[in-house]
Amino acid sequence: MFLPILQIESEELPKRAIVCGDPRRAKYIADRLDNARELAFSREYRIFVGEKDGVELAVVSHGVGSPGAAVCFEELIKGGVTELIRVGTAGSLTAELPTGSLVVSIASGREEGLTRQLVPIGYPAVADSEITDLLYRFANESGAKVGKGITVSFDAFFSGVEELPHKKYQKAGVIAVEMEIAALFVVASLRGARAGAIVAIDGFADADLATEYNPHNDTVSQAVDREIDAAIQAMVALGRKA
């Protein structure tokens, strides 16, 4: 089956995929695999396949924001991918998780618009428990400070006339904010796939905690390396169990 947006044949895809926002990060992840090769690069969707310890993996970039990312997730699952892990960055909502920490999402608030057009507002965006447990285990083994809890997905990155609802979610115990996890969890649930997510904290989303935002530093880079390693290890563990 030809996947017209990703611009690949479904037969080229393995059962497991690590997804990320940045096409450059997709290559960075793929470089950690054995026999990695690039299949396609269409719009924001850059696709590699390779293997690690005998387990075949795809690495696919999905761009920024839930609508475009959901297109990627839909086509991957339509193409036969059954397990997906998102790696990326997020803003912390708690002083307990400073820059350089890792967060494993167990569920996501749906403050983006995409999933509201797919399911009722009461439908939860929930991670697969086995994938979550594996990510949390390997993240802790990396030596990073690790949090596990509820995240929230927004569409807006910069505030406008309306204030972004950071405080509301902070009071509810949500620990980090990003832009695509809700779409991943909902699409995976709807289409019969399993999904998890791990993100590196690159600053504080809450204005009372935040200083100048600069995600391009060694602390964030080290956290990204650790989350990538955790995601690959989790995928290998899933593949060996299958």
Residue 241: both structure tokens together: 């169990």
Residue pair 110/118 in contact (Cβ under 8 Å)? The answer is no
Backbone Cα Rg of the chain: 17
Measured in whole angstroms, the distance separating CA 166 from the mean position of its chain's CA atoms is 20
Catalytic member of 133, 202, 206, 225: 202
Measured between alpha carbons, how far is residue 34 from residues 29, 31, 58, 112, 230 in Å? 11, 8, 12, 36, 17
Which are the contacts of 80, defined by CB distance < 8 A and separation ≥ 6?
10, 13, 15
State how far the Cα of 210 lies from the Cα of 77, in Å rounded to an integer: 37
Which are the contacts of 229, defined by CB distance < 8 A and separation ≥ 6?
32, 138, 142
Q: What is the DSSP letter of 196?
A: E
Q: What is the DSSP letter of 164?
A: P
202 catalytic per annotation: yes
Element (H, E) at 199: strand 194-204
Residue pair 200/172 in contact (Cβ under 8 Å)? The answer is no
Q: Which residues are catalytic?
A: 202
